[in-house]
């Protein structure tokens, strides 16, 4: 059977995310997340590792490595360069481009034995999976409804949420520019459009779901994101 254009798009997004997962696994495998390394230094190491593994040095959004109190900052913030501590929590948010296809992948790592940090790190994928289940079981869900459900899960778990959205469109590079007045590209309260729809070019929309948790009392957070509507390979 000849693959359709949409099948090719889905397979390309899956392959991009598979490589992003491999990149993050290699970061852990090589022991790059260690006390004493700077956030910017680690970001550059991961950039170089992506070049080594896949021949890519392009990222469609800024590379983010945040540790300690910086993990509470939303995407739009640009905190000063920090250093990873011995009993720290760290998250990575990278958007590498593989063969003109965007990946957007985020994970959180805990150094040390702090039970509150480990609990938050464990809650991230649990809340993400609950969000995905909601998407799967609600075929007409809108961006606003998705935002409300996911932030409700976060509230119920006792965390804060610092961002104005819980996800966004993803696709070919460069995908449709996300401007401040293009709220239909985000999973955010003003987006009353169905998530399952086509874009201006008639292609199916594909989404990233992201969960950012913050423990305001203890002063740290964590982050987790990946493809929502396309299953991993």
Tens-place pLDDT, residues 30-60: 999 999 999 999 999 999 999 999 998 788 7
Assess if residue 105 is contained within a domain: yes
Number of domains present in the structure of the chain: 1
Assess if residue 102 is contained within a domain: yes
Assess if residue 53 is contained within a domain: yes
Contact criterion met (CB below 8 Å) for 200 and 144 = no
What average pLDDT does the segment 78-84 reach?
96
Assess if residue 233 is contained within a domain: no
Handedness of CA 23, 224, 196, 60 (dihedral sign): negative
What value, to the nearest 5°, has the Cα angle with vertex 186 and ends 183 and 189? 70
Assess if residue 201 is contained within a domain: yes
Tens-place pLDDT, residues 159-183: 999 999 999 998 875 555 554 457 8
Residue 83 CA, chain-centre distance (Å), reads: 22
What pLDDT is stored for residue 175 in this prediction? 54
What pLDDT is stored for residue 1 in this prediction? 39
Assess if residue 124 is contained within a domain: yes
Assess if residue 173 is contained within a domain: yes
pLDDT band for position 96 (50/70/90)?
A: confident
| DSSP element (H, E) containing 207 | strand 207-215
> Does residue 229 surpass a pLDDT of 90?
yes
Of 111-125, 142-156, 173-187, the least confident: 173-187
Least Cα distance to 15 among 69, 56, 52, 73 occurs for: 56
CATH of the domain at 175: 3.90.230.10
> Does residue 116 surpass a pLDDT of 50?
yes
Assess if residue 17 is contained within a domain: yes
> Does residue 3 surpass a pLDDT of 80?
no
* Domain with 57 in it: 5-227
What pLDDT is stored for residue 99 in this prediction? 76
What average pLDDT does the segment 88-92 reach?
97
């Amino acid at each position: 059977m000849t693959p359709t254009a949409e099948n090719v798009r889905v397979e390309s997004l899956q392959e991009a995310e598979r490589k992003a997962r491999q990149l993050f696994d290699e970061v852990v495998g090589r022991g790059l997340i260690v006390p004493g390394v700077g956030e910017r230094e680690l970001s550059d190491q991961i950039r170089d590792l992506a070049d080594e593994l896949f021949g890519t040095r392009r990222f469609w959004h800024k590379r983010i490595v945040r540790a300690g109190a910086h993990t509470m900052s939303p995407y739009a913030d640009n905190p000063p360069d920090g250093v990873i501590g011995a009993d720290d929590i760290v998250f990575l948010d990278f958007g590498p481009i593989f063969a003109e296809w965007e990946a957007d992948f985020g994970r959180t790592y805990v150094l040390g034995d702090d039970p509150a940090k480990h609990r938050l790190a464990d809650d991230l994928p649990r809340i993400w999976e609950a969000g995905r289940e909601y998407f799967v079981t609600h075929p007409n869900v809108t961006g606003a409804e998705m935002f409300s459900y996911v932030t409700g899960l976060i509230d119920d778990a006792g965390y804060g949420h610092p961002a104005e959205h819980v996800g966004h469109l993803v696709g070919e590079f460069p995908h449709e520019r996300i401007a401040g007045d293009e709220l239909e590209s985000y999973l955010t309260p003003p987006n009353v459009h169905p998530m399952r729809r086509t874009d201006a070019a008639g292609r199916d929309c594909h989404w990233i779901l992201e969960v950012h948790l913050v423990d305001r009392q203890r002063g740290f957070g964590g982050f987790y994101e990946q493809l929502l509507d396309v299953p991993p390979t």
